[in-house]
Amino acid sequence: MVCLGNICRSPLAEALLRQKVDPKKVTVDSAGLDHYHAGEPPCHSSQEIAKAHHLDISGLRARPFQISDFDRFDRIYIMDQYNWDLIQNMARQEADLKKVDFILNEIFPGENMAVPDSYQKGKNAAKMVYEMLDQATTAIASKLRS
């Protein structure tokens, strides 16, 4: 799960998918394409909305996306077009890019819809992002089970 800073959208997506899959079979992680927030916990609004849904993301820490993540993961889900533009520049080969997709394509195939950045936009924005990511991660988990 990849977003820009790894403190709002991607930690929520990570936690949501982790609760829906078997951790012995599926590794879920998140990262950011910028290093601004490296080592920081998720933002307050993301922690609040997660807590309201019985998810504790306070222990997660932002980390930068690394080239080795292309080798480490079978699927890399991005949150928006800017993430796509940045990750394209990091890809070493076409095979790297074949692993990357917009997370909302799981529920709106081929539409490349963005998950809005909720950073410093308050509780309502975090709630909307949570709902989008909950639906998308449910679809991902369903695919993984079949």
pLDDT tens, position by position, 54-64: 999 999 999 99
Instruction: Report the chain's mean pLDDT, rounded to a whole number.
Output: 94
Kindly state the average pLDDT of the residues 94-111: 97
pTM to 2 decimal places: 0.94
Residue 99, in any domain of the structure: yes
Total number of residues shown for the chain: 146
- Which CATH number fits the domain that encloses residue 26? 3.40.50.2300
Look at residue 141 in the predicted model and tell me its pLDDT. 98
How crowded is the C-beta side of 146, counted as CA atoms within 13 Å?
Answer: 6
**Three-state DSSP class for residue 20:** coil
Query: How many domains does the chain divide into?
Result: 1
Phi, psi dihedrals of residue 78, rounded to the nearest 5°: -105, 165
Mean pLDDT of 5-32: 96
Q: Is residue 87 part of a domain?
A: yes
Considering the chain, what percentage of its residues have pLDDT values greater than 90?
A: 90
pLDDT of 122 reads: 65
143 located within any domain: no
d(CA 108, CA 105): 5
At 115 the pLDDT is 97
In a domain? residue 10: yes
Report if residue 108 sits inside a domain.
yes
Indicate whether 142 pLDDT > 80: yes
Domain that holds residue 33: 2-138
Q: What is the pLDDT of residue 99?
A: 98
* Helix, strand, coil percent content, the chain, rounded in steps of 5: 45, 10, 50
The whole-number pLDDT of residue 120 equals: 66
The reply to whether 145 falls in a domain is no
Instruction: State residue 41's pLDDT score.
Output: 96
Catalytic residues: 3, 9, 117
User: Would 9 be classed as within a structural domain?
Assistant: yes
Query: Does residue 55 fall inside a structural domain?
Result: yes
Each residue of 7-35: b (16+ CB within 10 Å) or e?
bbbbbbbbbbbbebbeeeebebbbbbbee
